[in-house]
A and B are shown apart, each in its own frame.
Chain A
Amino acid sequence: MNAAAVRPAIDLSVKVGGLTLRNPVMPASGTFAEGLEKVMDFNRLGAFVTKTITRELRAGNPLPRVVERPGSLINAIGIPSKGVPYFIEKTMPHYAVYDTPLVVSISAPTAEGFASLAAELSIPGIAAIEANISCPNIEEDGKAFAMRAESTEKVTRELRRATDLPLWVKLTPNTGDVPEVARAAEAAGADAVVVANTILSMAIDLKTFKPCLGNIMGGLSGPAIKPIVLRQVFQCAKAVSIPVIGCGGISTAEDAIEYMLAGATAVQVGTATFLQPAAMTTIIDGLETFCLHREIPRAADLIRGVVIEEADEPELSWLDPVS
């Protein structure tokens, strides 16, 4: 690696949940694997985020597992997992050769299960834990811990006790008050929240009248969901003081910048990689170019940079009672 040649003119580094990343761009869990090595230089990424690991071996959901809709994708993969020993022995060594922090995404059916998995994976080579308490494809009827503040607080507290690693908690967009859930995660000791996961959704085949997915329901991702999740990132960044990592429909550098302006400290790129496999490195390049052109010395200066004009004092004179 030639460090001198790659030092950008712009400081792209960000501090997120106990880690300093060389830039704010990382993959979204479930859309990243070793195969991308053939497409991009892994030493350019801000972090690696693994596909979610579970303790139990999981086969995943029945097929079909994805269906496309305009500007979006619905998936119900169902977290196929080969378990912890496979991850440690077979998957981790792939990433050990890179100078990029490895964030491991975990899931479990109970708070205790999350805690014991986090403890077992708090080992050299893992830089942070991302607790996926929001996958819509695991629990019956799309339920997840992150739909409620109480269950989020409980699972986060257990996780906090179990690991000293930076703890990122991945929230769901499928609930009425995401900022309240973010506050619960912060209160229980999360170092960052990831906002958000996919949006619980459905599609029906008009030839057969059957659901398009084997799991009936799935999670919507892709450009179509960006404005919704962007709004949730904005709300959460106002509600908590820990970093918010934005994740939802980011395909371009402009999308990533919009998320940072809304309050994201870093961003995760998922579905975009399915269309343009080098999307993440293209976004990193675009972010640097944007900062250069706008003379913004540090990408971190973009965070929470949205300009909200204070409303003028309302002109009430015409309402004054005639005296």
Chain B
Amino acid sequence: MSQQPIIAAGGCSAGWKPSIVAELARVVRHAAVNAEYRHLVLDCSEEAAAAQPGQFFQLLCPHPVGEQPFLRRPMSLYGADPDKRQVEFLYKVTGAGTRGLDTLEPGDSLDIMGPLGTGFTLDESMSHIIAVGRGAGLATLAPLAAAAKAKGIKVTAILSARRPELLVSVDLFRSKGAEVIAVTDSEQTSGPANVERILRREIAEGRCDAFFTCGSSRLMRVQQRLAREFGLSGQVAMEQQMACGIGLCYCCVRDFNVDGEIVNRRVCWDGPVFDLMEALP
């Protein structure tokens, strides 16, 4: 059972239409971008292609040989093109689900469900934002580049990885006019102290009125501290193991600090993007 049948959510209330759909998307391109990450481009419906930065999809991954992943896998959006009716994902093979994704060839179909969750908010008051990402965050933050450009908001992207050749999204950010600062473990530039130094310089030079971050608790804490010090806003995309992806099961809860009170929220439904100041590592 590598694929399940497409589900049409028929309705009987007048004018009712689903806004979250599970559908069979078709693989257009699927290629390695470096030793770790793979880029998957799918033809999909108009509804799926309307996905916004920070939203995600639940993918029903094909079964790799010898493994039977049961649940869908949450995957943050790497790109969406409503005109071409395409969505893109950037992923690293880490488990049974992504090993299954890895088997997909152009022309194959993939059952995708979405768009899901609350994404990033780009507000008119912002003129220059900073995106700070590492790991899966490099993919999650990528769609901000085009969205910010469309609103005339400048972007500085601080992208972190173990080694320079493992960085992704650099070209994408640059192609949308963003300033990219790459930091890596191997060059000893990715530590919180150095990132804080870079952020302080950007703030001092008027190039930061909001933080957008994903993929590193240590870097998130640095931004929380600076946001408090300078009165800046911020948004963080959080990760958590998920089952349903639509707020039913309460598997993916995390604690948040809301005005000093610890509040439990569902990453899939209340997020995955949350107020930077409320997030707990």
A59-B264, A66-B241 as given contacts; A38 in contact with B18, CB under 8 Å: yes
The reply to whether A66 and B251 form a contact with Cβ atoms under 8 Å apart is yes
Q: Do the beta carbons of B18 and A278 come within 8 Å of each other? A: yes
Q: Which of A2, A64, A276 contacts B14 (CB 8 A)?
A: A2
Task: Give A139-166 interface residues, CB cut-off 8 Å to B.
Answer: none
Known: A2-B12, A35-B269, A73-B71. A277 touches B20 (CB 8 A): yes
A residues near B10, Cβ cutoff 8 Å: 41, 44, 281, 285
Which of B9, B14, B21, B246 touches A281 (beta carbons < 8 Å)?
Answer: B9
* Identity of the chain B residue whose Cβ is nearest the Cβ of A280 in the assembled complex: B9
B30, chain A: closest CB distance, angstroms: 23
| Pair A275/B13 contact, Cβ less than 8 Å | no
Of B12, B72, B241, B250, the contact of A41 (CB 8 Å cutoff): B12
Q: A85 at the A/B interface (Cβ < 8 Å)?
A: no
| Interface size of B in residues (CB-CB distance below 8 Å) | 35
How would residues 82 to 98 of chain A score, 1 for a CB under 8 Å from any chain B CB and 0 otherwise?
00000000000000000
Whether, in the assembled complex, B65 has its beta carbon less than 8 Å from a beta carbon of chain A, the answer is no
**Are B248 and A273 in contact, CB atoms less than 8 angstroms apart?**
yes
Which of these binds chain B: A26-34, A182-190, A295-303? A26-34
- Between A and B, how many residue pairs show CB distances below 8 Å? 126
Q: Which residue of B lies closest to A59 (CB)?
A: B264
Is A43 engaged at the interface, CB distance under 8 Å to the other chain? yes
Nearest CB of chain A from residue B174's CB, rounded to whole Å: 36
Whole-angstrom distance between the alpha carbons of A274 and B245 in the complex?
A: 8
User: Which residues of B sit under 8 angstroms from A73, Cβ to Cβ?
Assistant: 70-71, 243
Chain A residue contacts of B21, Cβ below 8 A: 39
In the complex, what distance in Å separates the CA atom of A116 from the CA atom of B125? Answer: 52
Residue pair A40, B251 in contact (C-beta under 8 Å): no
Check if B241 sits within 8 Å of A274, measured CB to CB: no
| Interface residue A55 (Cβ < 8 Å from any Cβ of B) | no
A277 touches B246 (CB 8 A): yes
**A residues near B, CB below 8 A?**
1-2, 5-6, 30-36, 38-44, 51, 59-60, 63-66, 68-73, 75, 77, 80, 222, 273-279, 281-282, 285
The 6 A-B pairs with the shortest beta carbon distances in the complex, nearest first, are A41-B11, A35-B247, A68-B70, A278-B9, A6-B12, A70-B68
Further contacts, 10 of them, CB under 8 A, given A40-B11, A44-B11, A70-B68: A1-B12, A2-B14, A35-B247, A38-B246, A39-B20, A41-B11, A42-B13, A43-B16, A66-B249, A278-B9
